[in-house]
């Protein structure tokens, strides 16, 4: 699936924790596209949509009767790799460098990093490009291979029901936004996970594979405004994490 718009994932609980009651109106839906969606680091290598059909066959003394009930829930199977596990997000790299300086009882490493920042900014290099010297990927502000995989697994592990701040119970729909050859403009799949696997092998020490199945209860198109705001999900998810952490 390489080359397409990055897949994204979210949940009803994540959106309501970020936006509160705003998540239930039109404005909240647009803000959630910016603040409540995480991007995959690398799009899956393989995505399969399996359409199942329900029939019931009954045998009588003289014939066979088949009852046709139409399609059942669509099953989506996704397989991929998380990416090179040594890559850190920029926020993690900054935190690790600061901690390293403290543990060494010296701010030498932090000062050197700050000196490089000033030098590169003086040369009119962007802050993100400057960070990329240390992280290896310019869009890694709030994402990395292992962070992406952990967030995706945490999403699958979330209970299917949750209680909001007002004590009201909600169904925790899981959302996966996909952009494929069949859906180049993007669709949002609404449903739930049925399995999540992380097979590891000594054959490849640099990446981690993952595989999951997901039952699709509903598919809806991605709107133009939602798609535009989704382009900034890498930055927005960091702001969303901060809002949820502060309980705003």
| Planar angle of CA 142, 147, 148, nearest 5 degrees | 90
Do 75 and 168 fall within a single domain? yes
Between residues 50 and 202, the one the model is more confident about: 50
Mean pLDDT (the chain, rounded): 78
Q: Which comes out higher in pLDDT, residue 240 or 55?
A: 55
Whose tokens are 């936004």? That residue is 177
Residue 40 counted as domain residue: yes
How many independent structural domains does the chain possess?
2
CA separation for the pair 18, 165 (Å, rounded) = 12
The average pLDDT across 40-59 equals 93
- pLDDT (0 to 100) of residue 83: 86
Q: Is the domain of 21 the same as that of 45? A: yes
Residues 101 and 219 in one domain: no
**226 lies in some domain:** yes
1 in a structural domain: no
The angle formed by the CA atoms of residues 41, 46 and 48, to the nearest 5 degrees, is: 125
Scanning the chain, the segments in alpha helix (DSSP H) are: 12-19, 26-35, 90-103, 108-122, 127-135, 145-157, 224-230, 233-246
Q: Which of 120, 139, 158 is the last residue of a domain?
A: 139
State yes or no: pLDDT of 96 exceeds 50: yes
Do 204 and 223 reside in the same domain of the chain? yes
How many percent of the chain have pLDDT more than 70? 65
124 and 161 in a single domain? The answer is: no
Residues 155 and 72 in one domain: yes
Task: Give the least confident one: 26-35, 109-118, 203-212, 214-223.
Answer: 109-118
> pLDDT by residue (tens digit) across 3-48?
568 899 999 999 888 877 665 666 666 677 778 889 898 899 999 9
Does residue 57 sit in the same domain as residue 122?
no
- Specify whether 162 is located in the same domain as 233: yes
Query: For residue 3, is it within any domain?
Result: no
Buried b (16+ CB within 10 A) or exposed e, 126-135: eeeebbbebb
Q: Is the confidence at residue 133, as pLDDT, over 50?
A: no
Give the C-alpha separation, 152 to 144, whole Å: 12
Q: Is residue 127 part of a domain?
A: yes
Q: What is the pLDDT of residues 139-174, one digit of tens each?
A: 567 788 999 999 999 999 999 999 988 899 999 999
164 shares its domain with 236: yes
Shared-domain flag, residues 135 and 146: no
Sequence-distant (6+) residues with CB within 8 A of 223 are none
Q: Which of 139, 162, 177 marks a domain boundary? A: 139
The answer to whether position 189 is within a domain reads yes
Residue 2 located in a structural domain:
no
* Among 104, 139, 174, residue at a domain's last position: 139
Among 61-70, 170-179, 188-197, which is the least confidently predicted range? Answer: 61-70
Do residues 105 and 219 share a domain? no
- Domain range enclosing 77: 8-87+142-246
Domain match, 63 and 180 both: yes
Contact yes or no for 114/81 (Cβ under 8 A)? no
Burial class (CB in 10 A: 0-12, 13-18, 19+), 97: middle
The per-residue pLDDT for range 182-195, each reduced to its tens digit, is 998 899 999 999 99
């Amino acid at each position: 699936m390489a080359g397409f718009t990055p897949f994204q994932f979210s949940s009803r609980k994540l959106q309501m924790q970020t936006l509160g009651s705003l998540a239930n109106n039109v404005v909240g839906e647009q803000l959630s596209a910016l603040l409540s969606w995480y991007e995959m680091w690398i799009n899956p290598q393989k995505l399969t949509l399996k359409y199942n059909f329900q029939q019931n066959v009954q045998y009588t003394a003289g014939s066979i009767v088949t009852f046709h009930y139409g399609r059942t829930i669509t099953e989506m199977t996704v397989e991929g790799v998380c990416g090179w596990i040594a890559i850190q997000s920029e926020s993690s790299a900054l935190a690790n460098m600061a901690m390293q300086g403290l543990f060494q009882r010296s701010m030498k490493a932090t000062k050197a990093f700050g000196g490089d920042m000033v030098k590169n900014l003086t040369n009119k290099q962007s802050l993100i490009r400057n960070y990329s010297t240390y992280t290896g990927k310019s869009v890694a502000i709030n994402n990395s291979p292992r962070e992406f995989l952990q967030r995706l697994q945490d999403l699958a592990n979330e209970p299917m029901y949750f209680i909001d701040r007002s004590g009201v119970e909600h169904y925790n729909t899981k959302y996966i936004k996909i952009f494929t050859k069949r859906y180049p403009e993007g669709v949002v799949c609404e449903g739930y996970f049925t399995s999540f696997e992380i097979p590891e092998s000594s054959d490849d020490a640099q990446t981690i594979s993952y595989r999951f199945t997901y039952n699709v209860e509903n598919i809806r198109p991605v709107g133009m405004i939602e798609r535009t705001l989704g382009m900034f999900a890498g930055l927005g998810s960091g702001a969303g994490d901060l809002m949820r952490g502060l309980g705003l």
